[in-house]
Amino acid sequence: MKTNPGYVNGIYVAVERSDHESDSKIVQFDFRAQRSFTFGQVHSMLNRKGFDRYDFTAGGIGCRHWNIIVLGRLERLGFVPQFSALFLHEKSAYSYSRLRDPLPRPIQQGTWDSEQTHQLALRLWQQLSTQLTMKIDREGEIQGLFILASNPEHRMTAAQRLVAMGVQLGGLAAQMPTRSKDIEAWESRKEALRVSAQQGASLAQTRRDEADDEDGEDEDDEENDEEDDG
């Protein structure tokens, strides 16, 4: 992996670990595998799909983007549970702050050397928005059913539907203010995801344009060489 000019180049290094807990001072969680896989399988997946050829954005903050994308890939392959990448985004999409409820900020994206890898990364990033929309829609339905349950005529039907959705009815009323705040927070995170996607697409387009310009310059040099030979 590389950083922008002016920053120290990074090197992709894979380290195998057998323990289940990390020593990170930034995060306090790990993702437990839901099916067995070898270290070699993961390493091969990264290399084969081009995830090892990645350019950070200025300052190196693009490392968060890389980790989320790779975890999303492992999630799609069934190695880690669903919503793992979304959970990582929730824990990573903030500037370092002492605020109790920090606001989500868009994660700056890096670029991938391969256009195919970039397109795959875009789809994996879109998966986060899709999953977040699912959570928002589900919570909205729960709140709608809770309101419906206040009507005696529909109370039984609403309660049955809530139970079918896996909602514990006990203490639900006390949870509603917090649940409403959750929806607001998720909507804010969706916007952060959208802005990140736009920034990543713009950065990738800039790289493509620069590559086209370099190809054009090479062709001009070849033509000039031919004229000199003539």
Measured CA to CA in angstroms, residue 143 lies from 137, 169, 171, 176, 178 at distances of: 10, 12, 14, 7, 11
Indicate if the pLDDT at residue 158 is higher than 80.
yes
Cα separation values, 191 from 50, 88, 110, 194, Å: 28, 16, 19, 5
Please write the tens of the pLDDT for every residue from 98-153: 555 656 677 777 778 888 888 898 889 989 999 999 999 999 999 999 999 999 99
Asked, for residue 9, whether it belongs to a domain, the answer is no
Range 20-35 average pLDDT:
60
Work out the percent of the chain whose per-residue pLDDT is above 70: 72
Task: Quickly tell me which residue has 């500037």 as its tokens.
Answer: 95
**pLDDT confidence tier of residue 61, bands split at 50, 70 and 90:** low
Asked which of 97-111, 154-168, 189-203 is least confident by mean pLDDT, the reply is 97-111
The residue segments making up the domain with residue 112 are 39-220
In a domain, 198, yes or no: yes
What are the Cα distances from residue 48, in Å, to 66, 70, 109?
16, 13, 21
Structure tokens at 220: 């001009």
> Which pLDDT does position 24 carry in this prediction?
44
In the block, residue with structure tokens 């084969």 = 48
* H-state helical runs in 24-168: 39-48, 62-76, 84-92, 115-148, 155-164
Q: Which of 108, 118, 166, 116 is nearest to 142 (CA)?
A: 166
pLDDT beyond 90 at 193 = no
Rounded CA separation 185/188 (Å): 5
Burial class (CB in 10 A: 0-12, 13-18, 19+), 111: buried
Q: What is the tally of structural domains in the chain?
A: 1
Is 129 within a domain? yes
8 in a domain, yes or no? no
> What is the reported pTM?
0.70
The identity of residue 129, as a single letter, is S
Spatial contact of 51 and 113, defined as CB atoms under 8 Å apart: no
Q: Residue 68 falls within a domain, yes or no? A: yes
Residue 32 forms part of a structural domain: no
DSSP 8-state symbol, 60:
G
In a domain, 229, yes or no: no
Residue 140 lies in a domain: yes
